[in-house]
C-alpha cells in the first residue's frame, strides 16, 4: 500500500525543470573530472552538492571530498542511489569540445554525459521531485556520489567501511530495464623486462596506449629506432594487405613514431570498438627486430588477442551463454593500456567475466605462458559477478515504474559492464540507456538526449515515490 500521491504533479515537476536539468548537466560536464585529477573530481563533487543544497536537500561531503551524500527522509529503511562524478579521459576524434557540455539538437554532448553525470543529475531531480510532495516519508533515500568509479574503488571501500549501507537500491549507470545480473571484472598487468638478445634491426624504444583500463584505446604508439625508408616500405606493404587499417609514420629526432588508429569503446563491449593496441602489435610482430621484452609483449598480444575478444586462444572461452535459463554472455578480454618504464614494458588487460569463471581460472591462464614469454604478472583487481533475485520486492517496484512510463517489458537483464552495484548489497544498475539506443559512454562524441534524461528522471521519481510513500517494507 502506498499513500496516494498525484503522479501527474510528480511528472510535471520534472517537465517544468527540464531546461534547468540540461543546464546542470552541462555545468557538470564542463568540469574535466578525470579520475586521476583529484582536484577536478572534488570540484565536480562540490558542484553537485551545491546544486542539491540549492534544491533544499540535505547535502554533505564526506571523506575529504571523496564521497558526496544527498538525503531525503528520516526512516530506518533506506533506498540507495549510487552515482559518480569521475570520468574516463578523452580519446579518439571528437566533433565537439569533449568538455563543452553543449546542448545540440536535443542532445547533451561531452565526456560524462552518459557515464555518469547526466544520469546523476536525473536522479538528483527525481529526489527533488519526490521531496516536493507534501506527504509523510516512510523511507530514507540516500544519493551516494562517488569519485573513483572509473578506477580502483577506494572511495566506496572507505565509505562502506565507515558508514551503514542502504538496504537496497540502484545505480543509474547502465541500461534499462534493471540489470539484476552483472558480469565480473578483473585487471591483469603483465611486465616484460627490457633484456636484449641478438642483432639490432628495428629496435622498439617505447610502447604507449590508453589512458584508462576500462576503455578500448583509439590510438597506440611505438617509438622505434631504425631505417626510415625501410619502415615506410613495411607500412606500405602491410596496408596493401590490410587496407581498412590506419598506421601513420612520423620521423622524430633519432627515432620513428608509429601510430595505429582504432575506434574507442567501453571495454565491456569491445566488439563496438577497434583496439589500436592489437592493431599496432599485429603490424609490429611482422617486423624484423631484436629479441627483447618489447618483441615478446608484441608477439604475446598478437598471438592471443588480435581478432579474439573472447579469450579462446588463451583458454578463457566461456562455452555457454546461459545459466539456469538466463543469459550471461561470455568472457571478454582486451588489452587496454600499454606503458613503457625504465627497464620494462607493461600491458594491462581488462576482463569482463561471465558466471563460472573464477579468479583462479584467470590466474592459471596467464601463468601458463609466463615462462615462454618471459613476463611476470600482477592481479590488480577482481570483482565477482553479482546476481540479485528478480523476486526481491524493490525490484518489482522498479519494474512497475519502468513499464508504466515506457510501455516496455521490465524483465531484468544482464549488465555487460561493471558498476557500483557491486559495491553494496541488493543493488542493480538501472538506466539511463533505453533499449535500441546506442550507448556512447567511454567513446568519442559521448552524448545523450535530453528527452531520455527527462524520461529516466520520471522513472526514477515514480519508483522512489512508490517506495518512500509506502509504509510497507521492500527488503
One pLDDT digit (tens) per residue for the chain, 475 residues: 566 899 999 999 999 999 999 999 999 999 999 999 999 999 999 999 999 999 999 999 999 999 999 999 988 999 999 999 999 999 888 999 999 999 999 999 999 999 999 999 999 999 999 999 999 999 999 999 999 999 989 999 999 999 999 999 999 999 999 999 999 999 999 999 987 655 556 889 999 999 889 999 999 999 999 899 999 999 999 999 999 999 999 999 889 999 999 999 999 999 999 999 999 999 999 988 767 889 999 999 999 999 999 999 999 999 888 877 778 889 999 999 999 998 899 999 999 999 889 999 999 999 999 999 999 999 999 999 999 988 999 999 999 999 999 999 999 988 888 899 999 999 999 999 999 999 999 889 999 999 999 999 999 999 999 999 999 999 9
**What is the rounded (10 degree) CA torsion for 71, 75, 81, 82?**
80
Cα(63)–Cα(222) distance, integer angstroms = 40
Closest CA relative to residue 212, chosen from 88, 301, 34, 92 = 88
Report pLDDT for 280.
97
DSSP symbols for 133-163: S-S--SSEEEEEEES-TTS--HHHHHHHHHS
Cα(283)–Cα(248) distance, integer angstroms = 12
- Cα distances from 320 to residues 185, 270, 323, 330, in angstroms, run 18, 19, 8, 7
Which residues on neighbouring strands pair with residue 216, listed in sequence order? 265
Cα–chain center distance at 387: 19
Report helix, strand or coil for 170. strand
Cα dihedral across residues 113, 263, 292, 236: positive or negative: negative
- Do residues 57 and 131 make contact, with C-beta atoms less than 8 angstroms apart? yes
Report pLDDT for 343.
82
First vs last C-alpha separation in the chain: 15
* Helices 7-16/18-29 angle, 10° precision: 50
Which residues on neighbouring strands pair with residue 348, listed in sequence order? 189, 337
Report pLDDT for 200.
57
- Do residues 259 and 220 make contact, with C-beta atoms less than 8 angstroms apart? yes
What DSSP designation does 274 have? B
Cα–chain center distance at 214: 6
Cα(153)–Cα(131) distance, integer angstroms = 30
Q: Report the number of secondary-structure helices (H) and strands (E) in the chain.
A: 12, 26
Report pLDDT for 199.
52
What DSSP designation does 472 have? S
| CB atoms inside a 10 Å sphere around CB 189 | 18
Query: Locate cell 583509439: which residue?
Result: 218
Q: Which set of grid coordinates corresponds to residue 266?
A: 567501453
Alpha helices in 306-449 (DSSP H): 359-367, 370-373, 393-406
Q: CA angle at residue 141 from 17 to 48, to 5 degrees?
A: 50
Ordered by where they begin, the domains of the chain are: 7-183+386-468 (3.40.630.10), 185-383 (3.30.70.360)
Q: Which set of grid coordinates corresponds to residue 175?
A: 541500461
Report pLDDT for 326.
79
- Cα distances from 349 to residues 223, 275, 278, 296, 390, in angstroms, run 21, 12, 12, 16, 32
DSSP symbols for 216-241: E-SEEEEEEES-HHHHHHHHHHHHHH
What DSSP designation does 409 have? -
Half-sphere exposure of 277 (CA within 13 A, CB side): 35
Cα dihedral across residues 464, 466, 469, 473: positive or negative: negative
For the segment 198-257, what is each residue's pLDDT rounded down to a tens digit?
555 688 999 999 988 999 999 999 999 989 999 999 999 999 999 999 999 999 988 999
Amino acid at each position: 500500500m502506498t499513500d496516494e500521491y498525484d503522479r501527474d504533479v510528480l511528472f510535471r515537476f520534472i517537465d517544468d525543470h527540464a531546461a534547468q536539468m540540461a543546464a546542470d548537466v552541462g555545468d557538470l560536464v564542463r568540469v574535466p573530472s578525470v579520475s586521476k585529477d583529484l582536484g577536478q573530481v572534488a570540484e565536480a563533487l562540490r558542484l553537485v552538492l551545491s546544486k542539491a543544497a540549492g534544491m533544499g536537500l540535505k547535502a554533505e561531503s564526506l571523506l575529504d571530498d571523496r564521497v558526496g551524500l544527498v538525503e531525503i527522509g528520516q526512516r530506518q529503511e533506506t533506498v540507495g542511489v549510487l552515482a559518480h562524478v569521475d570520468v574516463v579521459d578523452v580519446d579518439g576524434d571528437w566533433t565537439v569540445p569533449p568538455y563543452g557540455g553543449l546542448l545540440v539538437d536535443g542532445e547533451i554532448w561531452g565526456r560524462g554525459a552518459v557515464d555518469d553525470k547526466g544520469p546523476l543529475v536525473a536522479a538528483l531531480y527525481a529526489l527533488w521531485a519526490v521531496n516536493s510532495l507534501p506527504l509523510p516519508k516512510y523511507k530514507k533515500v540516500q544519493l551516494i556520489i562517488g569519485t573513483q568509479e572509473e578506477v580502483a574503488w577506494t572511495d566506496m571501500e572507505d565509505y562502506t567501511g565507515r558508514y551503514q549501507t542502504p538496504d537496497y537500491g540502484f545505480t543509474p549507470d547502465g541500461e534499462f530495464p534493471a540489470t539484476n545480473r552483472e558480469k565480473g571484472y578483473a585487471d591483469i598487468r603483465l611486465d616484460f623486462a627490457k633484456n636484449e638478445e641478438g642483432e639490432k634491426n628495428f629496435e622498439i624504444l617505447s610502447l604507449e596506449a590508453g589512458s584508462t583500463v576500462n576503455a578500448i584505446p583509439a590510438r597506440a604508439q611505438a617509438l622505434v629506432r631504425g631505417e626510415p625508408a625501410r619502415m615506410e616500405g613495411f607500412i606500405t606493404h602491410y596496408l596493401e594487405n590490410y587496407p581498412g587499417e590506419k598506421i601513420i609514420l612520423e620521423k622524430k629526432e633519432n627515432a620513428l613514431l608509429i601510430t595505429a588508429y582504432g575506434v574507442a569503446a567501453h571495454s565491456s563491449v569491445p566488439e563496438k570498438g577497434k583496439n589500436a593496441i592489437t592493431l599496432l602489435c599485429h603490424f609490429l610482430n611482422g617486423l624484423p627486430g631484436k629479441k627483447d621484452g618489447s618483441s615478446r609483449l608484441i608477439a604475446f598480444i598478437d598471438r592471443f588477442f588480435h581478432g579474439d575478444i573472447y579469450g579462446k586462444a588463451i583458454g578463457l572461452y566461456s562455452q555457454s551463454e546461459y545459466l539456469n535459463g538466463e543469459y550471461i554472455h561470455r568472457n571478454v578480454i582486451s588489452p587496454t593500456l600499454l606503458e613503457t618504464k625504465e627497464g620494462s614494458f607493461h600491458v594491462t588487460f581488462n576482463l569482463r567475466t561471465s558466471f563460472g569463471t573464477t579468479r583462479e581460472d584467470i590466474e592459471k591462464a596467464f601463468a601458463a605462458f609466463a615462462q615462454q614469454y618471459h613476463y611476470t604478472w600482477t592481479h590488480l583487481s577482481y570483482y565477482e559477478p553479482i546476481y540479485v533475485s528478480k523476486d526481491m520486492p524493490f525490484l518489482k517496484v522498479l519494474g512497475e515504474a519502468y513499464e508504466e512510463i515506457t510501455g516496455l517489458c521490465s524483465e531484468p537483464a544482464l549488465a555487460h559492464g561493471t558498476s557500483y552495484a557491486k559495491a553494496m548489497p541488493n543493488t542493480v544498475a538501472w538506466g539511463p540507456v533505453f533499449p535500441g539506443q546506442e550507448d556512447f559512454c567511454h567513446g568519442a562524441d559521448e552524448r545523450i538526449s535530453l528527452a531520455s534524461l527527462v524520461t529516466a528522471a520520471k522513472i526514477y521519481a515514480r519508483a522512489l515515490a512508490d517506495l518512500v510513500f509506502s509504509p510497507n517494507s521492500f527488503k
